Amino acid sequence: MFTDFITILDLVGVAVFAATGGLVASRKEMDLIGFGMMATFTGVGGGTVRDVILDRPVFWVEDHRYLLVCLGIALLLYFFASHVQRRYVVLLWSDAIGLAAFAVLGAQLAREADAGPLIAIVLGMITATFGGLARDLVAGETPLLLKQEIYATAALVSAAVYVVFVDSIGVAPLIAAIGAILTGFAVRAGAILFGWSLPRYKQRAGRIYK
């Protein structure tokens, strides 16, 4: 049952990130192939980097359903995105769901590869953030990752809650995963809705940077 949950998590994460890629393609007024590429980069990018670092077989090479999901979503968005009012808001929330889900997924796969807790958390963050980072770099947009509000922190919270609950407290993985996703999503939601942010480093007056 936990395995099923992980598979669902994976497909949902790929789908919502693919959708954010397609939405950026619509913003850039790309053609259908551009939609397909942006959806695929974003949907499978983070997991590809994770699998290469863990030296696992890359997930979408093993199972072609992932590519089909990305391409199907690209097709849908190409024809119907213009019917969606306020697409940037949809992008933000889809990205938030994917972020929380992929962070837990990456941490779990790292645990299965016998990585320690710190490394599992970092791989969760990589899985959650690299697809969106690739999306924004390729499209020439300022990475969401670098914007003012909490973003990577939500991925960190998801992955860390999961690892701590499973490894230190001994919670059942399924319960820990659901709790971790909800916590990470709530943190990101707070950032989107209320502009939550961590204190930023401030230059001191009178200090010279150059």
Contact residues: a second copy, CB under 8 A: 25-35, 37, 40, 48, 52-55, 57-58, 60-61, 64, 67-68, 78, 81-82, 85-89, 115-116, 118-119, 122-123, 125, 133, 137-140, 142-143, 145-146, 150, 152-153, 156, 197-204, 207-210
Q: Look at residue 66 and give its three-state secondary structure.
A: helix
**Which residue's CB is nearer to a second copy, number 57 or number 175?**
57
At its nearest, how many Å lie between a second copy and the CB of residue 32?
A: 6
At its nearest, how many Å lie between a second copy and the CB of residue 118?
A: 5
Q: What's the start-to-end Cα distance of the chain, in Å? A: 57
**Which residue's CB is nearer to a second copy, number 175 or number 188?**
188
Q: Which DSSP state fits 136?
A: H
Q: Look at residue 194 and give its three-state secondary structure.
A: helix
Rounded to whole angstroms, the Cα distance separating 159 from 17 reads 18
**Which residue's CB is nearer to a second copy, number 1 or number 199?**
199
| Tokens, residue 148 | 């003012």
**Which residue's CB is nearer to a second copy, number 138 or number 174?**
138
At its nearest, how many Å lie between a second copy and the CB of residue 160?
A: 11
The secondary structure of 61-124 as a DSSP string is HH-THHHHHHHHHHHHHHHHGGGSSSHHHHHHHHHHHHHHHHHHHHHHHHHHTT--HHHHHHHH
CB within 8 A of 122, min separation 6: which ones? none
At its nearest, how many Å lie between a second copy and the CB of residue 207?
A: 6
At its nearest, how many Å lie between a second copy and the CB of residue 84?
A: 8
**Which residue's CB is nearer to a second copy, number 116 or number 172?**
116
